[in-house]
Structure 1
Amino acid sequence: MKRIIAALFALSLSVFAADKKPLLLVLTNHAELGETGKPTGFYLSEAAHPHEVFTKAGYKVKLASPEGGFAPLDPKSLELEDEANAAFWKNFGNGDKDKPGVAETMALSDVGPGEYGGIFFAGGHGSMWDFPASAELRAVTASIYSRGGVVGAVCHGPAALVNLKLPDGSLLVSGKKVAVFTNEEEEKVELTEVVPFLLQTAFEDMGAEIVPAEAFSENAVRDGRLVTGQNPASAKKAAQLFVEGLTAED
């Protein structure tokens, strides 16, 4: 009898998991920090922590990027003492200390938006350059959101949402409460004059309501099916709110 109960429980879990659409976790392809000559890319914990949260919640996760292929890692973020970071790096990292990154990601032009329940953008300064410039990124994100999916981003990942319009012509973030890397934080890391624009200012210009917290402290916000996190410390919380949004009725 115990074996039958265990088998039925396992079957119910598999059916439950099968009902969940997979998620997209998007990384930047951009590897140069402006004209500084320094490397950049995606920030490890901003991909690793959401990936861990999503998979533990029973979702399959597909790594993607605007162009597909190699996604460079910001070498400053290669902190493998963190268990989630270490697991993600072991599974997806190329192991190259000179040019670290994820060797293979799916191009957003190859994505069928209807197949996914949500899209989440990892940050890292690289995203400030290629995320806002990608027409494929905008198309996939608008389609997923319009189909009832959840859109999420953390730290500099919200750069993906800059000037992103829905099919009715409205800005996705207009009137929404959001948390993004603040102007104060950009100033504290001394990159105000390096990045192509300031996230906080861009979101204010789009009519979003910024919900800031103390610099570099955890802060994530869910406004319906839009989830945003302020900085690296907010990645796990943003992912948890993202999962909450996947099952919420609002």
Structure 2
Amino acid sequence: MDIETMKKILLVLTSQDTLGDTGEATGYNVAEASHPWKVFRDAGYFVDFASIAGGQPPRDEVQEDDPVQVEFTQDETVKASLYNTPRVSVVDPSQYDAVYLVGGHGTMWDFTGDADLQKLIASVYDSGGVVGAVCHGPAGLVDVELGTGVALLSGRKVAAFTNAEEKAVGKQDVVPYLLQDKLEEQGATVKLADNWEENVQVDERLVTGQNPQSAAGVAKEMTKLLTEVVREQKAGEEEAAQKLRAERDAEKAAEDDE
């Protein structure tokens, strides 16, 4: 992955359109997609979209009083991209500097346990990329195993939609599990803020947020990490170039002595 030249971020969306067997509609959270999209785009990154099942992913209601959500839903490039998203299973992870898991209750049914999503996340992280997730998006981090054989969540400090927030929206008996509990079972330490307060946690190249209010903050921290990765890459390239020059100079000096 050549982070310096590619500068691409993949946003992954749920394909689940109902809350279990309740018949109640759901989908990806528009605020959690739109605000990071704007942060990434304004930072100069190309943004692509993918979903678990492909096609046009379902979405929750748009808050018309939020200009960023309105801009997102009216942007022609975004509309074209979301009209027929690729399945996660066909995405080439080497094409992306980062992957960001958009939240929404639907993720609780189709993010967790999806082997293709797990492989995508692990591949991006293992190659030096950044992984981000917000609200219910961390459901996609469950059971992700890195190339080292260690679970991505093991020993991590993370944020996600809390048990208290799930109870506040009355979905604690609807979702297949409570996300906070599941992340803790995976060996993560879930850092809690009050309901609906912004809470962003950074642990190495993993960035997570608690709720929709944290979405833009997650994206900002991801762009900071990507800048650091590019800086480290350039430093490594310069070090290699200096070493090569020194070797060539030594060879030339040896030839001159002969």
* TM-score between the two structures when normalised by the length of structure 2: 0.84
Corresponding residue for residue 60 of structure 1: 46
Instruction: Look up the equivalent residue of 1:79 and give its one-letter code.
Output: Q
CA distance in 2, matches of 1:117, 1:18: 9
Corresponding residue for residue 3 of structure 1: none
Question: Is 1:185 the equivalent of 2:165?
Answer: yes
**CA deviation digits over 1:16-43, x for unaligned, max 9?**
x972431100110000111221100000
Question: Is 1:35 the equivalent of 2:21?
Answer: yes
Deviation at 1:244, TM superposition (A): 1.1
CA distance in 1, matches of 2:4, 2:70: 28
Deviation at 1:224, TM superposition (A): 1.0
Corresponding residue for residue 86 of structure 1: 70
Question: Is 1:105 the equivalent of 2:85?
Answer: yes
Listed as ranges, the gaps of 5+ residues in structure 2 are 233-258
Corresponding residue for residue 241 of structure 1: 221
Question: Is 1:214 the equivalent of 2:194?
Answer: yes
**CA deviation digits over 1:150-190, x for unaligned, max 9?**
00000000000011111222110111110010001001111
CA distance in 2, matches of 1:195, 1:132: 12
CA distance in 2, matches of 1:244, 1:223: 13
- Secondary structure of the residue that 1:248 maps to in structure 2? helix
Corresponding residue for residue 246 of structure 2: none
Closer, same or farther in 2 for the Cα pair 1:187/1:246, shift >3 Å? same
Instruction: Look up the equivalent residue of 1:68 and give its one-letter code.
Output: G
**CA deviation digits over 1:55-76, x for unaligned, max 9?**
000000001111211100013x
| Correspondence list, 1:156-235, <5 A | 156-235=136-215
Instruction: Look up the equivalent residue of 1:124 and give its one-letter code.
Output: G
Instruction: Look up the equivalent residue of 1:37 and give its one-letter code.
Output: G
Counting helix residues as a fraction of each chain, which structure ranks higher? 2
Corresponding residue for residue 154 of structure 1: 134
Q: Which moved more, 1:149-158 or 1:131-140?
A: 131-140
CA distance in 1, matches of 2:174, 2:124: 32
Q: Residue 134 of structure 1: which of 114, 126, 132 is its match?
A: 114
**CA deviation digits over 1:177-226, x for unaligned, max 9?**
10010001001111011001111001111111111101111111111100
Size of the alignment, in residue pairs?
226
Q: Residue 50 of structure 1: which of 26, 33, 36 is its match?
A: 36
Corresponding residue for residue 21 of structure 1: 7
Corresponding residue for residue 238 of structure 2: none
Q: Which moved more, 1:20-29 or 1:178-187?
A: 20-29
Are the equivalent residues in 1 in contact too, given 2:196–2:213 (CA < 8 A)?
A: yes
Q: Which moved more, 1:43-52 or 1:105-114?
A: 105-114
Identity %: 45
Instruction: Look up the equivalent residue of 2:93 and give its one-letter code.
Output: P
* TM-score between the two structures when normalised by the length of structure 1: 0.86
Bigger Rg over Cα:
2
Listed as ranges, the gaps of 5+ residues in structure 1 are 1-16, 95-100
Closer, same or farther in 2 for the Cα pair 1:177/1:18, shift >3 Å? closer
Are the equivalent residues in 2 in contact too, given 1:154–1:231 (CA < 8 A)?
A: yes
Corresponding residue for residue 123 of structure 1: 103
Deviation at 1:93, TM superposition (A): 4.8
**CA deviation digits over 1:97-125, x for unaligned, max 9?**
xxxx9422121122111111000011000
- Secondary structure of the residue that 1:64 maps to in structure 2? strand
Are the equivalent residues in 2 in contact too, given 1:30–1:130 (CA < 8 A)?
A: yes
Instruction: Look up the equivalent residue of 1:228 and give its one-letter code.
Output: T
- Secondary structure of the residue that 1:185 maps to in structure 2? helix
CA distance in 1, matches of 2:129, 2:146: 13
